[in-house]
Amino acid sequence: MPTSKLFIILLSLLSFLSLPFRSLSDRCHPNDKKALLKIKKALNNPYALISWDPKTDCCEWYVVDCDRITHRIVQLHLFASDVSGQVPAAVSELPYLELLRFHKLNLTGSIPPSITKLTNLKFLDLSWNHLSGPVPPFLSQLENLTFLDLSFNNFTGSIPSSLSEFQNLEAIHLDRNGLTGNIPESLGRFSGLVPDLYLSHNQLTGQVPRSLGDLNFTVLDFSRNKLQGDISFLFGTNKTIQIADFSRNMLEFDLSKVEFPDSLTSLDLNHNRIRGSLPEGLVKLNLQYLNVSYNRLCGEIPAGGKLQSLDYTSYFHNRCLCGAPLPDCK
């Protein structure tokens, strides 16, 4: 063997052995380990991360997952732990992250803008914390997101219209926050997938934008807000909606002529100001849930389908609804 080749082999062996923090068995990428240790520090070294020992392979640590081939960190899911602090900005230093879940950690503060560096992120769950400030418009830069859950936090301000820029989102959970203002018109203009929208338990006001009638939603939960006006344009024989919860708002419209699509399995309209009578079309639906209680409805409950098998509390507290399962009409 020529000496020059031997020299190169020796040199590379030497440089390999002198790599800091990297034992021979480490699969974990040193940059990922560095980022995870920053995250651990930012969360005040919680007990839940005790397995994150710098001397060991980070692919073996709890609550993270390494890709089987590249060994880069692709998942970080930490929940219901004794953590305190904010969403660590260092999460943005895990460039291969596809899933980030910080659930029930009592995290405070806002979402760091650096999160938009996570271009591979598909699943973002920051639910059940004390996060505050506005829902950041920059989230829509996470183009590959399929699931976004910010529910059970303390977000305020209005819903950013940029959310409609998501192309691959299957669901948006913004429920149980302190969101105010109108539902943006843009939520009727998703150009890719049409996500399930969970906006309940906020303080949203105004009318549900007409534009939402242009899309085929599957789930709309807008319950417990202060929404007004008509929502009948969300229905129609044309549509594919399955679950619609608009309970506990201030909706005011005539239900008599509304046509419901065959797809509808759950309809909750309780505690509104809906008038008219129950449309005959309800009898041909395969309803698993219906609640029109506490409205201003009148007339006989149409006979047939599932309508008589439902509990009377599905219908009670209306102006003059009658017939089974309520008392007979006079």
Ligand X SMILES: *[C@@H]1O[C@H](CO)[C@@H](O)[C@H](O)[C@H]1NC(C)=O
Q: Which residues in this chain contact ligand X in the complex, by CB under 6 A?
A: 80, 82, 104, 106, 119-120, 130, 132, 143-144, 154, 214-216, 236, 238, 240, 270, 291, 293-294, 311, 313-314
Distance, CA of 131 to CA of 109 (rounded, Å): 5
Q: Which two tokens stand for residue 260?
A: 């419901």
Specify whether the CB–CB gap between 186 and 163 falls below 8 A.
Answer: yes
Which residue's C-beta sits nearest to ligand X?
119
What's the closest the beta carbon of residue 82 comes to ligand X, in angstroms?
5
**Residue placing its CB nearer to ligand X in the complex, 206 or 236:** 236
Q: 23 or 240, CB closer to ligand X?
A: 240
Q: Please tell me the number of Cα atoms within 13 Å of 10 on its side-chain side.
A: 7
Q: How far apart are CA 122 and CA 22, in angstroms?
A: 29
Rounded to a whole number of angstroms, the minimum distance from the CB of residue 93 to ligand X is 16
CB of 305 to ligand X, least distance (A): 16
Q: Least distance in Å: CB of 138 to ligand X?
A: 13
Q: Which is nearer to ligand X, 29 or 224 (CB)?
A: 224
Whole-angstrom distance, CA of residue 151 vs CA of residue 155? 9
Distance between CA atoms of 189 and 201, rounded to whole angstroms?
23
Rounded to whole angstroms, the Cα distance separating 248 from 270 reads 6
Q: How far apart are CA 166 and CA 142, in angstroms?
A: 8
Closer by beta carbon to ligand X, 107 or else 159: 107
HSE-up of 80 (CA within 13 Å, CB side)?
Answer: 0
Q: How far is the CB of 223 from ligand X (least distance, A)?
A: 10
Answer yes or no: are the C-beta atoms of 142 and 172 closer than 8 Å: no
CB of 53 or CB of 311, closer to ligand X: 311
Considering the complex, what minimum distance in angstroms separates the CB of residue 17 from ligand X?
A: 35
Closest approach, Cβ 52 to ligand X, in A, equals: 18
CB of 218 to ligand X, least distance (A): 10
d(CA 151, CA 174): 5
List, in sequence order, every residue forming a beta bridge with 64; answer none if it has no partner. Answer: 76
Taking the least distance from each CB to ligand X, the nearer of 56 and 156 is 156
Closer to ligand X by Cβ: residue 191 or 313: 313
Residue whose structure tokens are 């183009």: 143
Q: In the structure encoding, which two tokens stand for residue 232, read together?
A: 């009948």
Nearer to ligand X by C-beta: 33 or 248?
248
Give the 3-state secondary structure of residue 285: coil
- In the numeric block, the tokens 């769950």 are attached to 125
* 114's tokens: 């650096």
